[in-house]
Amino acid sequence: MKIAKTRIVISALIFVFALGLIGTALFGFFSRNQPATYATLDKMRSYSVMSAAHQPLIDQITKEASDAAYVHAKENNFSRNQRAAYAGEQAANAKLQATQSLSPNFAHDSPAYLAAILSLDQQLIDAYDALKLEQDAFLADKAAGTPTQIDIEVVDEAPPVLDGEGLVLEEPVTEDAMRPVISDLTGFVPSAGMQAMLSQIDPYMDSLLAEIRALSPVLTSELTDSVRDKIMGAVRSQGDTFQDIYDRSADVGALQLLTKADARRMQLVRNAEDMVYIGFGLLVLALSVLFYQQATKKLGMPRFVILLFFILLIVLSGLYNIAVPGMITNILQRLGMYGVLVLAMLPGIQSGISLNLGMPIGIISGLMATLIAMENNMTGWPGFGFALFLAIVLALPVGYFYGKLLNRLKGNEMTVSTYVGFSYVSLFCIAWMVLPFKNPKLTWALGTGLRTMHNMGNSFGSLLDNFLRFKVLGVSVPTGLLLFLLLCCLLMYLFERSKSGVAMLAAGNNPAFATASGINVDKMRIVGTTLSTVIASVGIIVYSQSFGFMQLYNGPQQMGFIAASAILIGGATVSKAKVYHVLLGTFLFQGVLAMGIQVANAMIDIGGLSEVMRILISNGIILYALTQAGGNGRD
């Protein structure tokens, strides 16, 4: 196919720019390992440490100015609102003046001061490395179900009550609040040796405080001791990276110490990872422009547009200093979380029942199995395996009778499945209140019934996520979660090629031809419906352990629409679907949702916008996907 010259030129320009970005990023990675770069970072950090040491003095000056202003306003008969406004204005001015007057004291090039920082830093590195080993061992024992410091009989703490909301029994966890649950160190206690090692840091900290007071006589021992922990945190916090130390120092103005050339070099080194991702995104964009016609023919225009929008979000993330590696981590987490639930749509479509919007039936089977495991205090891999097995056992008969129902109502499956799913969820809203669960971790503190949200941290939360987890270029890859998704996809792929799978596909594609070939179409529809229900029951367990919480009552109600939208965006239709539609659709749906929220928050600085954007973006994608359900999609 002939490619237009204009597209070739545009693609070449983007390609050259992308290679330039990647080359610059590689230079940044190389520079990061040079002694001069770390010497500059240490200079920035020394400014940050001194800034933290002066903060209580600035706060003291600010408070004195505020108090004096309030007294002055009261003596001059200001109203209450005028007094508060005047005091606040004077406090802000005093804080600005104090910071400006003291900021020269932040910049010191004393060899003894810098040596004290580096000595303390080395002690902190050794202590945090040792502490990390103990924490990893604690998490490994916890994942394996080995008894730890956690008393599993202790009731989960209720979420914090928000100011002004009165007594709240349970605060719902929003999708935007979700972030990858990498570890749960609840109940961890450092060993005696570790505590002794941590105590050895004190002399090095005392030496640093002495150097600070020698360089800035306005600081008293009382002032520096009051921010001892903040000063130590400015030197190094557990898990600090190059970017963390740079950001912390830059936020308090440490870049003013550097020449323009050094400041640009440090910014380049800091943003090397982001530049790599932006560069690769632009490479994809260049190829998309070059092979536009082939891509739209293969993917279809809707998926091509969404893919380009996703690449645009990556570029905008870099421009707005949003950590692209963190975003990629979030997307991979969401892919694994939702992937199995989206896969549950596949056998329903292939067997001819269309989109299985009644998948909450299967989801509730998975929730029931998880509750039974938690009721018996099962943890780690045994608890996870038991929940999966029991979920499948519970979902099989439910899926079978659900399939029988759909066979009696052919032609109206989507409508019927929607009503059945909603009704089943409503029925279990009553059931969750009367089922005989007794474990105090699951039930309300007062009255009867199960709580709405259940913390998975003390059972098998993040079990798959943490299995074989590794980091590359700042991206934390939830290996176990993704491997489990790929295993489920592989099993579904193999089933499609089995005798029963081929018969199910034939029954879904052409029922009349399948009947003429001796295939029992009704039986194959039941097989597809049952399989869809079983996969949904497994999917909600995977979702809950990754999300960190299990949601009852109305929690499962919208899951069917989210899964249906993802598979439709991936290129499936209401009559044809393949495994790769599941993976592509879940990635695009969750990728656009995750990155769109962050970019929107960076572009429009309005408090509370994230939840609004989540609703707009997610429902917008769902609406778009459902409009595709009535058309003739592609294979």
Q: Where are the chain's structural domains? A: 5-32+271-319, 35-106, 111-246, 339-557
pLDDT of residue 386: 93
Cα distances from 117 to residues 26, 107, 294, in angstroms, run 30, 14, 58
Cα distances from 253 to residues 46, 106, 586, in angstroms, run 12, 10, 41
| Gyration radius (Cα) of the chain, Å | 29
Could you give the 3-state DSSP secondary structure of residue 617?
helix
pLDDT of residue 621: 66
pLDDT of residue 178: 41
CA 591, CA 587: separation in Å to the nearest integer? 6
Can you read off the two tokens belonging to residue 235?
């030197």
Pairing between β-strand 475-477 and β-strand 549-551 as defined by DSSP bridges: unpaired
Dihedral sign, Cα of residue 484, residue 611, residue 549, residue 399: negative
CA 335, CA 543: separation in Å to the nearest integer? 10
CA 279, CA 271: separation in Å to the nearest integer? 12
DSSP string across 524-574: HHHHHHHHHHHHHHHHHHHHHHHHSEEE-TTTTTTHHHHHHHHHHHTT--S
Cα distances from 314 to residues 29, 280, 330, in angstroms, run 20, 10, 13
Can you read off the two tokens belonging to residue 318?
């870099």
Cα angle for residues 357, 360, 363 (degrees, 5° grid):
135
Can you read off the two tokens belonging to residue 54?
């002066």
Which of 444, 137, 489, 448 has its CA nearest to residue 344? 489
Which of 207, 252, 295 has its CA nearest to residue 49? 252
CA 352, CA 525: separation in Å to the nearest integer? 6
CB neighbour list of residue 223: distance below 8 Å, 6 or more residues apart: 53, 56, 57, 60
pTM recorded for the entire structure: 0.66
CA 369, CA 281: separation in Å to the nearest integer? 42
pLDDT of residue 487: 94
CA 542, CA 462: separation in Å to the nearest integer? 9
CA 236, CA 122: separation in Å to the nearest integer? 9
Dihedral sign, Cα of residue 30, residue 35, residue 39, residue 42: positive
Tell me the mean pLDDT per 10 residues along the chain, length 635: 74 89 88 88 90 88 87 83 84 85 79 91 90 80 50 39 36 42 65 88 91 88 88 88 87 87 89 81 81 75 77 75 80 91 91 86 93 89 92 93 88 84 90 88 82 83 86 85 94 91 88 86 91 93 89 87 85 84 89 80 62 66 60 42
CA 365, CA 378: separation in Å to the nearest integer? 18
